[in-house]
Structure 1
């Protein structure tokens, strides 16, 4: 059932879905809000009210990403092999800068992240990165290489990032915007 909620200055459309679930939950998927509740659940508006701050913040962020995506363009003509060469050059440069080296580097399609670093020192990168401009690829490589020093997202981790990328929050926002475009254009098509 399609419904609307007014939170502060926004009217937010959402879909109410009754399912065989124990507990109600809220989800944002592909820019849309879903409220999933047990079949017998009656007071869905209370859930919206109770989580209005979270909904508002998530929805606001999505709207900002939509605005950003109007100004970004994906790289269309880069092969995965070309991506690998770019990533390896950034790994070499960053490795010298941070005095670290990954044990192994892999590439695969990922649905939820740009890269990962294992506790064994192996790096994996999302092959969809081939659609990103070089400066975004460099940021992702640096981010994953810092994980060879700090395996979590602690304040120490972000301090390392900030030394090289003082505007790292802007990079994070841009990556979210790029992911939105890549998801719509490539990932959703392959599901």
Structure 2
């Protein structure tokens, strides 16, 4: 692991050489990963080209981590209570939207709060149980909206905004809470 300075932020980074056609950047756990084709060693050009993007992403992560220190998790909601809450919310929201959910699964997920399959199955991250109920309701609504629009296009966000015109704030709040729950269970 090495460090570089991007504007005012010190960034830890790792260089990985793989059998890939194009170089790419990714940020995981607040660190920059440079994935390079086997024959390329000069990665500074890639860093310079994407300096603004790197700075924005790392700055956002730092801000979200700081904000997470102001939040508290709710450990009072048990597994069965959470399952019942999700079931009630799925029934209510899907009924209101005139959509059918095939099956509900609760499981620990590494990178997301929930998902929706093409078969109409909704999966909800069990770590969501520690969050305020309004965020649980929003995630369930978000996934049910995917029964109508599969991607995160403008059409999709317009559908979400019918019920949650402030969805950007809720998305930000979920990102903040992620730093509190990512290592639980």
User: How far apart, CA to CA, are the structure 2 residues paired with 1:28 and 1:48?
Assistant: 12
1:5 aligned residue: 5
Query: Alpha-carbon deviation of 1:42?
Result: 4.3
SS state at 1:186 partner: coil
TM-score by length of 1: 0.85
1:45 aligned residue: 44
1:78 aligned residue: 77
Query: Alpha-carbon deviation of 1:94?
Result: 0.9
Contact 2:17 2:35 (C-alpha < 8 Å) held by counterparts: no
Report runs of 4+ in structure 1 exceeding 6 Å deviation.
none
Query: Alpha-carbon deviation of 1:20?
Result: 4.3
Unaligned ranges ≥5, structure 1: none
User: How far apart, CA to CA, are the structure 1 residues paired with 2:25 and 2:135?
Assistant: 31
TM-score by length of 2: 0.87
2:64 aligned residue: 65
Cα separation, partners in 2 of 1:41 and 1:148, compared to 1, 3 Å: closer
What is the total number of aligned residue pairs between the two structures?
Answer: 183
C-alpha distance after superposition, 1:35-81 (max 9, x if no partner) = 35567754332221011122012112212212321221112232221
User: How far apart, CA to CA, are the structure 1 residues paired with 2:152 and 2:33?
Assistant: 29
Unaligned ranges ≥5, structure 2: none
